[in-house]
Amino acid sequence: MTEPLLRRLAARGERITVAAVPWVAPVYRAMPQVAEVWVLPFARGGVQWAARRAYAAGLRGQFAKAYVCPNSLKSALIPFFAGIPERIGYRGELRIGLLNRRLPNPPKHSRPPMVAFYSALSCEAGVEADRPTLQVTANTIQTVLAPRGLQAHGFYVVAPGAEYGPAKRWPAAHFSALAARLELPVLLLGSAKDDAVCTEIAEAVNAQRPGHCTNLAGRTSLDEAVALIAGAHAMVSNDSGLMHVAAAFGVQQVALFGSSSPLHTPPLNDAATVIWLKNDAAYQPPLNCAPCFQRECPLGHTRCLQDITPDKVLSVL
Question: What single letter denotes the amino acid at residue 46?
Answer: G
Domain 3-129 CATH assignment equals 3.20.20.140: no
Tell which residue, 187, 34, 132, 7, has the closest CA to residue 26. Answer: 34
Contact 158, 236 (CB under 8 A): yes
Distance of alpha carbon 237 from alpha carbon 219, whole angstroms? 18
CATH class entry, domain 140-316: alpha beta
In this predicted structure, what is the pLDDT of residue 44? 80
Tell which residue, 43, 104, 52, has the closest CA to residue 73. Answer: 52
- Each residue of 36-59: pLDDT tens digit? 999 999 988 889 999 999 999 999
Map out the domains of the chain as residue ranges: 3-129, 140-316
In this predicted structure, what is the pLDDT of residue 111? 82
For the chain, which residues score pLDDT lower than 50?
none
In this predicted structure, what is the pLDDT of residue 285? 94
Question: What DSSP state is assigned to residue 288?
Answer: T
In this predicted structure, what is the pLDDT of residue 276? 97
Distance of alpha carbon 242 from alpha carbon 229, whole angstroms? 8
Percent of the chain with pLDDT over 90: 89
Is 140-316 in the same CATH topology as 3-129?
Answer: yes
In this predicted structure, what is the pLDDT of residue 172? 97
What angle, 0 to 180 degrees and rounded to 10, lies between the N-to-C axes of helices 241-249 and 222-230? 50
Tell which residue, 189, 200, 202, has the closest CA to residue 162. Answer: 189
In this predicted structure, what is the pLDDT of residue 162? 87
Question: What single letter denotes the amino acid at residue 140?
Answer: T
Q: What is the DSSP string of 82-131?
A: TT-SEEEEE--TT-TTT-SEEE----GGGPPPHHHHHHGGG--S-GGG--
Distance of alpha carbon 70 from alpha carbon 40, whole angstroms? 14
Region class of 147: left (phi > 0), else alpha (psi between -120 and 50), else beta: alpha
Rg of the chain taking only CA atoms, in angstroms = 21
In this predicted structure, what is the pLDDT of residue 94? 85
Distance of alpha carbon 86 from alpha carbon 302, whole angstroms? 46
In this predicted structure, what is the pLDDT of residue 200? 98
